[in-house]
Structure formats: C-alpha cells, structure tokens
Amino acid sequence: MERTYIMLKPDAIKRSLVGTIIKRIEDKGCNIKAMKMFTLNEEILKEHYSHLIEKPFFPELVNFMTSGPVIGMIIEGTDVVVGMRNLMGPTKWEEASPGTIRGDFANNTTENLIHGSDSVSNAEEEINRFSKFF
C-alpha cells in the first residue's frame, strides 16, 4: 500500500466543491486515512513550495494559499500517488482534460483546487510536514 498527501486548496472550500472533490476520490476507491481542516502560513508554504520560491508568481501563490483554510488528507491505496495525480489533472487548467478535477472545475493555474504529492518520497515528506496539523 502506498500513501499520498492531498490538500484541498482555499478555492475548493470557498466554491463549496469539497464534497464533490471528496466524492471523486472515494468513487475511485481510494481510502481516506486522515483528514483535517487548518490554515497555512508563509513559513510552511516556503517549505512545501520550496521548488517555486524564485518564481514571479510565488507571492501570489502564498497570498492565495493563506486566504482561507485548506483540508489536508492522507490517502492510501495501490499506486495512489500517480493515481491521484491523474484524477487531479495537470497543473495548468487549460491543459487539464475534462473528467479530471482541475479539467472540470479549475479556470486558473494558481487557484487549481487541489494539491497532490508528485512522488512516493515527496508524499512521505509532505505527510511528515503536515502531520503536526492533524
């Protein structure tokens, strides 16, 4: 069994898409092992998005990610890291196919509803990073 870290972003909560997105995860047969709503700060976002700190959009990303609570989840299943990435769709909303979460509901690259770990090792790192909130 593999684990991944999923986070519903502030826009998912503001747009009342939490139930819809969780239903897609559950319909796929993925198992929610832990779930919690909490609010992020800039410090943890600099760790979580360390690969993006130098990007021009980083301040906008921090602004967005601290604009309201998020919902963190640990999801467990076979090959769940890649499986959840496929269910989410790619980062850029215009490249996300209909049928994916981002493809069906996102129309902005920053406000793209959902985070999912991109590798097994990053999943374990992120679960560690966010476990203090659970």
The binding site for ligand UDP (CB under 6 A) comprises 49, 52, 57, 61, 91, 109-110, 112, 115, 118
Locate the DSSP E strands across 58-107: 70-77
Q: What whole-number distance in Å separates Cα of residue 46 and Cα of residue 36?
A: 21
Q: How far is the CB of 37 from ligand UDP (least distance, A)?
A: 19
Site string for Mg ion, 91-120 (x = CB under 5 A): ---------------------------x--
3-state secondary structure of 30: coil
Q: Are 43 and 124 in contact (CB under 8 A)?
A: no
Q: Are 80 and 4 in contact (CB under 8 A)?
A: yes
Picked from ligand UDP, Mg ion, none, the partner binding residue 66 (CB below 5 to 8 A depending on kind) is none
Question: Which position among 101, 115, 116, 126 bears the catalytic label?
Answer: 115
**Looking only at residues 56 through 95 of this chain, which bind Mg ion when binding is defined by CB under 5 A?**
none
CA distances (Å), 69 to each of 27, 45, 53, 87, 132, in order?
24, 13, 21, 22, 15
Picked from Mg ion, ligand UDP, none, the partner binding residue 91 (CB below 5 to 8 A depending on kind) is ligand UDP
Pick 5 or 77: Cβ nearer ligand UDP? 5
115 labelled catalytic:
yes
Interacting residue ranges for Mg ion, rule: CB under 5 A: 118
